[in-house]
Structure 1
Amino acid sequence: METPAIPMPKDEGERAILDQLVSIRDHLLLLKRDRTKYIRSQDVMLVYDQVIEQVRQLNEIRKGAESKSENRLDKVLESCFQLLSLFFMTIGRTTEAPAAYALTSTIKRLLDHLTESGLFSAKDLDSMSHTLSTLESVLRNADSQHSPYLVELLAKRENLCKESLEELRKKLDRLAKPLREVHEKLISILRSMSLANTKAKFSVSEVQKLQAQLKDIDASRADGNFVDVEGNVLGGSDEVADLLKRCLLWSEIVLERKGTIPENFKPIYDKLVSIRNDLEKLSITQAWSLRETDLYDYQRELDKFDESRVDGNFQDEDGKLAELYVQRTLLYLIRRSYGYVYYLMISSEPVSEALLPYYNQLQTLKRCLVEVKNSGGVSSVRDLYPYSMKLNSIDNLRVDGKFVVGGDLPEGQGAVNELLAECFDLAYELRIAAEENVAQSD
């Protein structure tokens, strides 16, 4: 599964930089794996400055030189930026330029897969379009502490993503408005069938129900076309009809194979299912269990599988190419996993992991207090004691209005303090309402 060998740099200066970057990358990997203490902003910024210095030296060496193909130095530098980007998310600096690097990598992967398969919905594009607009604002406001080289690199990556996004959107724009809902439905059914196909226990009835929905859509056509109320063929009818045909064919194949993967592709399948399942669990519990730097290992594994394909197809250890069923199943797992990585990145809170326990507790408290308020409040002030005690215990952790962890002031002070204030305000409103109710009853 290793990617093809990347040549070493020929220039002596580049080799020296490569040695430095390999050392920096290894240090970042060790820092990532250390769960005995929180990752500190000053440690990350120190390494970031070291990488930027190596980039400055590299630019000096390559200045005026003819464009060269990538060598091992470029790959290691990419790994350093990818790791640093995830570290910036982990320490809560999610709105700074370096944090955008890993996100643009994942968006580019997703867009490449959507372009390759031609199977995507407006919802897919809307989410990535919104994220890219946010990144554009971040890059536009990138301050002087970040390398112009990095900002320029990110701007190019963002533009590439926007161009891909625009090409995909043009394909959807060809569909008449009434057909877009049908198209969205077909994509949803197709993905649901692929999900059912990769579950530990295959359910025939589940796929048959999805197949029945496809047949209902098929029956709604007139002479094989999608038409409006007046009988006119809708724009994009042929494209949606082709998608429907692909969905029906896939439903037949899935029902025939019942999730059974040939032995020669079982190792790849099992590994991809494991990655998908791990990421799915993280997407449910991410507020409490995710350290964003953990995503690096998942991304690296996914990238290796993705880049090992030959002309878009998978092959086993003997070089035998995968048949259609296996090919589509493995691609679904890769794409689904990249989707989870993307979701986990955009869900990253602007709070350091050192403050996340307080932040998450306050978010839970806020939800509870809002629920109590919406359901009519409390009957007495005593009912608020558990909430007040928890709020005060968190408030008492502050020193001069700030949360100090291990002598440090972690990122995200403003976000946690704002949430704490909101919770106190809600508790106060509920207390006043309870006191008024008691006074009126007296």
Structure 2
Amino acid sequence: MTDSPMFRSPLDPKEQPILDKILIIRDKLSLLKQDRSTYIKSSDVVIHYDDLIVQVDLLNKIRANKRNEQNRVDTVLDDCFQLISLFFLTIGRNQEAPAVYSVISTVKRLLDHLGEAGFYSPKDLESLSHHIDDWQASIERGRDTHPPSLITLLEARIDVCRKKLNELLTALSKLDPQMMGTYEKLVSILRSLSACNTRSKFPAKEVKDFEAQLLKMQEDLHEERLPHEGKTAEQVYAEKVASLSLSDGEVQDGETVVKALLARCLLWVEVIQEKQGKIDERFQETYDKLVKIRNTLEQMNLTQAWSLRETDLYSFQRQLDRVDEARVNGNFMDAEGRPADLHAQRTLLYLLRKSYAFIYQYLVSSEPVSEALLPIYNQLLTLKRCLIEVKRSGGVDSPRELYPYSMKLNSIDNMKKDGKFMVGNDIPEGQASVSALLAECFELAYELREKNQEAAESAHATPSEVQASA
């Protein structure tokens, strides 16, 4: 069991029974998560969710006059809500308030890391803003069906995210369209350089190519490379970051932001060329752990649509949370309490942020369909893409070309019993989504068949018929 970092506050004796109960709930959720023998049903999840809410209500009564209390009860509660949230995604109840809990926690960390890194793309923020609006709508819909304690908690977390998001947006508000294009290219290059810095073999030529692009941009902006006689590139980089922060409340003009980021990119090139992909040995263990998590999450991208169970992300979340929360004032610390050097600090932060970004990507792309129906849903998605591609490339030359698609669609349609896709005697969540997708595929196939028939009729029409129709 991968636990959250523990608070050391003493436990009120009245809270001990609650802790005992929620530990049991967490264990049951963990066992349910590990069971791959069958798909997860709504009833399996809701019973634990209801039990958890009972304990939250009891805890709120005990803490009526000490709302800011934080101890092990809170960390275990967070584990439970994270799992419940991922389970709601797994069973296809994505639009309900509990499903928001896990993803909004991930977004909060992402926003903090973007601000801490000091560079980000407006596109990053647009995506986050759009999804936050969707989650707010889910919370509003759940106001009458879910306990006020959960709704209040989720609203508070969304408010925190909105505030941080607005701060980050404001920091870029003085970038005009021309400067914005240069800025986004620099963000892309800096991220690419950070990725190069974490490869198993340092790609020296690729880094040189990025450096050449940066020098060309420097020439276009009529800038000169920052001199640093008597100082290392790391020292000057740290000074540059400290002199201009995108999250300190002060809004800089666009030219200043772009030139500062260009200087950072060129200094970072020097730093990673000197290090050649080698991390301070004090942080080798943390580095190896984060690289392994990042690589595993990245590889999941190849099979995610077919095999990912959202609850699989829980252990990755918790491992990353432990690393993130072990930092002191944002610094990664060694075993003796000494902070990391700038190279290790920025490298570890990049890996941490990249891993959370993968988790965010998987959470927001989770389909509103139970895992029991996911194989059918994914087959239909593939059929839809194929039919759209056929339509885009000019249609079919013969109705026979549509036979494989029609046979597969009819095969899926015949799986329904009384208009529902059943698994045994159960009716899994996501019926509307699967049926709507099936209808879209049938409609596309029908359009292609009609278009082919019209083309055939036109080809066989006599000149007089063509003239008459005109």
Alpha-carbon contact 2:143-2:151 (below 8 Å) kept: no
Alpha-carbon contact 1:354-1:405 (below 8 Å) kept: yes
The CA deviation at 1:285 is 2.6
Q: 1:180-329 alignment to 2 at 5 Å? A: 180-222=180-222, 235-329=253-347
Q: Percent identity?
A: 53
The CA deviation at 1:71 is 0.7
- Tell me, in whole angstroms, the C-alpha distance in 1 between the residues paired with 2:279 and 2:452: 62
Alpha-carbon contact 2:85-2:98 (below 8 Å) kept: yes
| AA at the equivalent of 1:58 | L
Q: 1:16-415 alignment to 2 at 5 Å? A: 16-63=17-64, 65-222=65-222, 235-415=253-433
CA deviation vs aligned residue, 1:69-116 (integer Å, no higher than 9, x gap): 301111111111111111111111111111111111011101111222
Alpha-carbon contact 1:8-1:73 (below 8 Å) kept: no
| AA at the equivalent of 2:424 | G
Relative to structure 1, is the Cα distance of residues 68 and 161 closer, same or farther in structure 2, using a 3 angstrom cutoff? closer
| AA at the equivalent of 1:197 | N
- Tell me, in whole angstroms, the C-alpha distance in 2 between the residues paired with 1:155 and 1:111: 17
| AA at the equivalent of 2:196 | A
SS in 2 for 1:312: coil
* RMSD across aligned positions (CA): 2.0
SS in 2 for 1:173: coil
Relative to structure 1, is the Cα distance of residues 431 and 178 closer, same or farther in structure 2, using a 3 angstrom cutoff? closer
The CA deviation at 1:389 is 1.4
- Tell me, in whole angstroms, the C-alpha distance in 1 between the residues paired with 2:424 and 2:324: 41
Relative to structure 1, is the Cα distance of residues 434 and 218 closer, same or farther in structure 2, using a 3 angstrom cutoff? same
Relative to structure 1, is the Cα distance of residues 224 and 254 closer, same or farther in structure 2, using a 3 angstrom cutoff? closer
The CA deviation at 1:222 is 3.6
The CA deviation at 1:434 is 3.2
Q: Which moved more, 1:155-164 or 1:51-60?
A: 51-60
Alpha-carbon contact 1:379-1:437 (below 8 Å) kept: no
Q: Which moved more, 1:177-186 or 1:15-24?
A: 177-186
| AA at the equivalent of 1:279 | L
SS in 2 for 1:322: coil
Alpha-carbon contact 1:9-1:73 (below 8 Å) kept: no
Q: 1:421-440 alignment to 2 at 5 Å? A: 421-439=439-457
User: 1:231 maps to which residue?
Assistant: none
- Tell me, in whole angstroms, the C-alpha distance in 1 between the residues paired with 2:92 and 2:4: 32
Relative to structure 1, is the Cα distance of residues 10 and 196 closer, same or farther in structure 2, using a 3 angstrom cutoff? closer
Relative to structure 1, is the Cα distance of residues 82 and 281 closer, same or farther in structure 2, using a 3 angstrom cutoff? same
| AA at the equivalent of 1:93 | R
| AA at the equivalent of 2:111 | L
Q: Which moved more, 1:394-403 or 1:134-143?
A: 134-143
| AA at the equivalent of 1:126 | E
- Tell me, in whole angstroms, the C-alpha distance in 2 between the residues paired with 1:62 and 1:344: 36
User: 2:16 maps to which residue?
Assistant: 15
Alpha-carbon contact 1:3-1:308 (below 8 Å) kept: no
SS in 2 for 1:353: coil
Q: Which moved more, 1:254-263 or 1:13-22?
A: 254-263
| AA at the equivalent of 1:171 | A
Relative to structure 1, is the Cα distance of residues 372 and 129 closer, same or farther in structure 2, using a 3 angstrom cutoff? same
- Tell me, in whole angstroms, the C-alpha distance in 2 between the residues paired with 1:424 and 1:109: 42
Alpha-carbon contact 2:5-2:322 (below 8 Å) kept: no
Alpha-carbon contact 1:2-1:308 (below 8 Å) kept: no
| AA at the equivalent of 2:216 | D
The CA deviation at 1:319 is 4.0
- Tell me, in whole angstroms, the C-alpha distance in 2 between the residues paired with 1:3 and 1:418: 40
- Tell me, in whole angstroms, the C-alpha distance in 2 between the residues paired with 1:128 and 1:310: 27
| AA at the equivalent of 1:242 | A
User: 1:230 maps to which residue?
Assistant: none
CA deviation vs aligned residue, 1:239-259 (integer Å, no higher than 9, x gap): 322221111010111122221
- Tell me, in whole angstroms, the C-alpha distance in 2 between the residues paired with 1:410 and 1:22: 29
TM-score, normalised on structure 1? 0.93
Alpha-carbon contact 2:40-2:371 (below 8 Å) kept: yes
- Tell me, in whole angstroms, the C-alpha distance in 1 between the residues paired with 2:451 and 2:117: 57
Q: Which moved more, 1:187-196 or 1:199-208?
A: 199-208
SS in 1 for 2:172: helix
CA deviation vs aligned residue, 1:111-147 (integer Å, no higher than 9, x gap): 1112222221211111111111111122222242211
CA deviation vs aligned residue, 1:153-192 (integer Å, no higher than 9, x gap): 1001000110111111111113344322222111111001
Relative to structure 1, is the Cα distance of residues 300 and 84 closer, same or farther in structure 2, using a 3 angstrom cutoff? same
- Tell me, in whole angstroms, the C-alpha distance in 2 between the residues paired with 1:435 and 1:170: 56
- Tell me, in whole angstroms, the C-alpha distance in 1 between the residues paired with 2:374 and 2:67: 45
- Tell me, in whole angstroms, the C-alpha distance in 1 between the residues paired with 2:313 and 2:441: 32
Alpha-carbon contact 1:176-1:235 (below 8 Å) kept: no
The CA deviation at 1:378 is 1.8
- Tell me, in whole angstroms, the C-alpha distance in 2 between the residues paired with 1:133 and 1:2: 30
CA deviation vs aligned residue, 1:17-72 (integer Å, no higher than 9, x gap): 11110100111111111111101011111111111111111112222x23443011
Relative to structure 1, is the Cα distance of residues 67 and 416 closer, same or farther in structure 2, using a 3 angstrom cutoff? closer
| AA at the equivalent of 2:63 | R
Alpha-carbon contact 2:202-2:277 (below 8 Å) kept: yes
- Tell me, in whole angstroms, the C-alpha distance in 2 between the residues paired with 1:419 and 1:239: 46
Alpha-carbon contact 1:355-1:412 (below 8 Å) kept: yes
Alpha-carbon contact 1:97-1:146 (below 8 Å) kept: yes
- Tell me, in whole angstroms, the C-alpha distance in 2 between the residues paired with 1:262 and 1:163: 35
SS in 2 for 1:417: helix
Q: Which moved more, 1:128-137 or 1:332-341?
A: 128-137
- Tell me, in whole angstroms, the C-alpha distance in 2 between the residues paired with 1:337 and 1:143: 32
Question: Any stretches of 5+ residues in structure 1 without a counterpart?
Answer: 226-233
User: 2:232 maps to which residue?
Assistant: none
